[in-house]
Amino acid sequence: MFNYFTERKTLMTWLMYLVNAYLLYAVCGMFLLSADALFLQPLPVLSVAEAFLLILAFSLGQGYLSMRFTSFNPNLVFTGLMSAYLVLGIYKSPSPLLFCAFFLLGLAAYFKLFLTKESLSYIIPASLLLTFPLMLYRLYHPLSVDLKQFVIEAEKWDSNQLWLLFLAGVYALCVYFLLNSAGEKLKKGLFSLANKEKQLYRLVGFIGLAYVFYLCLVVAYKAKTLSVSTFDIGIFSQMFESMRRSLTPMTTLERDRLLSHFAVHISPIYYLMLPVYSLFPYLETLEILQVLVVFSGVIPLHFLLKHLQLPAFARPLLLLLFVLTPAMTTAGSYHLHENCFLVPCLLWLLYANIKQWRWRLLLVVLLTLMIKEDAFIYVFAVGLYFLWQNRFSQSSGSKPFLVFWQLLFPLFYFGTCVFILTHYGDGVLISRFDLLDGQDGLWGAFKTIFLNPTYIFASFFTQHKLQYLFLLFSGLAFLPLMQKRWENYFLLLPLVAINLLSNYDYQTDFGFQYSYGSTVLVFFMALLALEGLFIDWQEKEQTHFTVSKRILSFILTALLFSSAILYSYTGNWYKDILYYQQNRDKFTAIHQTLAALPEEKKILAHYSYTVDLRRTRELYDIFYHNNQEFDSSVDLVVTPRSTVENQETTTEATIVKLYMEKGYSETAASTKDVLILEKTK
């Protein structure tokens, strides 16, 4: 029985029935609801029970038709329903941002149907073309509704970044023309590359090592120039000091009181860094460790690439693409976060599944879950993919193992974490998912998602999110959208759940840690798409040279776009190194002054100083402490002198002046750069 329900053919057939049934429900909503109810304020067409019965009935109906008529094809049903959904969606869309959303959905669906040679796949692009006159009209005659989050704000686009992307596109065209016109000379060059795979690996290895060394320098000098803040590196640095002393992750900075960090996020993975930090107890150690952890992902990626059918020259170039993928660098912009472990752990998890490891796979699953309570979603997505896929071989006993350890156990672990955080910790952080505000717990959130598919889908395409998706996919030459198999899209689950389902802008910002995990899985989707194209072109009996030329075009295009996007974020990172060299004496004096302060005192500090004061047992941030009101129990107030002397109007300046008015006076330990106030006895 279990084997029947986990056979890929059965799974894929019933998945298609369910997708068609849910798509029918979405089309009904398109017919019956207004634009406001569809996109701006969720209003379900049916109750949960009614929607469930409709989906069940239509799924069973398709099953009956497939048994009764051998010619019945659920892909044709999907094509018709998807075309109707796209046309109605564009017809009712109040914003050009939503036009883009439905076009992306349509193109992704078309690529899948086209690559699997469905006879009527052309209906989808034909349907999109029919909406062109309507789109032109709607641009100049918009619907009279409040667009809210779908307003286009041109001033929020980075013009320099747009120019870089435009130029990357121009150079990509140059690459395409070059590869299509160089002829025999290029053919010899390509085969020469294939025969010199080791030399290519050495070149990529040298570039990768040089880049990682540069990043280690950059992050170290960020610490030296005090380019830090309390949230979150101040919290983690104080936590590591506590772990070094007593193995407990205690901090006073995170919630303005003594609290275990694990009461906020359950991240025991940090203990893997503790031995190194204990030997070298500096902030620079933590920053460099993050860089090394992230780029250690090239090791499992190297092994994984050996199991993909690609030209020999492609593998080292894809390793280079991984190194230059923007999020691998930019997600660490705001210093250490536990999410950095997602990069190597997920790549090892993918490789462990490909190799059909058992107990080593279990170890990788446990390590991944130890990163954070929400890491279960990544394990779950990978588990779903490997349960449904047929690209990599699996033994008969591997699926029950997979279902338990990568589907059921992660859900159980997440539930346990939620219980612990809710009853013994500081609660589960769900306020950032304000799309689901006002819902009654997890069941209410599920109802909103299940009953309002168009509202949820549209919410992924606000201007900020659309920018994020464009940068994410363009850096991989849009390969993640060119999937031949439906199950590959399970790998997008973390991108949807962690990044897009939230209106917290930082979760769709390459400068923050939330991009690490989802980018790894999207990168793997790009590899699957590239392999699928390679195999498909070979099956069409095209020459190896022609196929290799096309694969090289995609990889070089991705490298050009990734490099452009990466530079747009990191082009000025080297300036911290120069700034420190020009002001070495100043920063040395500041670090020495802060290091001399007594650790047993209760200190109220400026956000840029909390990292240096991490050894202080009672350390608080000026901005967050005591609701910005006076606290007579504070022993020392420590802040840059410029906060007061430059007549700043910041909240920090106001609070420092409040303590001075309450009798706190400057101590002899103050310097020309650091102002230290002490309570007058």
**What is the C-alpha to C-alpha distance for residues 259 and 262, in angstroms, rounded to an integer?**
8
Query: Quick one: pLDDT at residue 252?
Result: 94
Cβ-count burial 629-640 (b if 16+ within 10 Å, e if not): eebeebbbbbbb
Phi and psi at 664, nearest 5°, equal -75, 135
Phi and psi at 428, nearest 5°, equal -90, 130
Return the residue matching tokens 């990292």.
611
Q: Mean pLDDT check: name the lowest of 90-104, 382-396, 417-431.
A: 417-431
User: How many residues in total does the chain contain?
Assistant: 681
**DSSP per residue over 558-591, as a string?**
HHHHHHHHHHHHHTTTTHHHHHHHHTHHHHHHHH
pLDDT over 90 percentage in the chain: 53
Cα 496 to Cα 434, 576, 605, distances in angstroms: 14, 35, 38
pLDDT surpasses 80 at 606: yes
Can you list the alpha helix ranges (DSSP code H) found in 247-341? 274-279, 283-295, 298-305, 314-324, 326-330
Q: Mean pLDDT check: name the lowest of 70-74, 178-182, 263-267.
A: 178-182
Mean pLDDT, range 96-102, rounded to an integer: 86
**Whether 475 contacts 325, CB under 8 Å:** yes
pLDDT over 70 percentage in the chain: 93
**What is the C-alpha to C-alpha distance for residues 463 and 154, in angstroms, rounded to an integer?**
9
User: Does the N-terminal peptide bond of residue 374 adopt cis geometry, omega within 30 degrees of 0?
Assistant: no
Phi and psi at 671, nearest 5°, equal -130, -175
Sign, Cα dihedral of 594, 599, 601, 602: positive
Query: Quick one: pLDDT at residue 2?
Result: 47
At residue 1 the predicted structure's pLDDT band, cuts being 50, 70 and 90, is very low
Query: Quick one: pLDDT at residue 671?
Result: 93
| Three-state DSSP string of 121-161 | CCHHHHHHHHCHHHHHHHHHCCCCCCCHHHCCCHHHCCHHH
> Checking phi first, is residue 101 left (phi over 0); if not, alpha (psi -120 to 50) or beta?
alpha
The predicted-structure confidence for 667-681, as pLDDT tens digits, reads as follows 999 999 999 999 876
The predicted-structure confidence for 549-558, as pLDDT tens digits, reads as follows 888 889 999 9
Return the residue matching tokens 């590899």.
527
Mean pLDDT, range 501-510, rounded to an integer: 85
Query: Quick one: pLDDT at residue 4?
Result: 46
| Distance between first and last Cα of the chain | 79
Q: Which amino acid appears at position 175 of this protein?
A: V
Give the count of beta carbons closer than 10 Å to the beta carbon of residue 627: 7
Say what the pTM is. 0.92
Mean pLDDT, range 538-552, rounded to an integer: 79
Assign 629 to helix, strand or coil: coil
The predicted-structure confidence for 513-535, as pLDDT tens digits, reads as follows 899 999 999 999 999 999 999 98
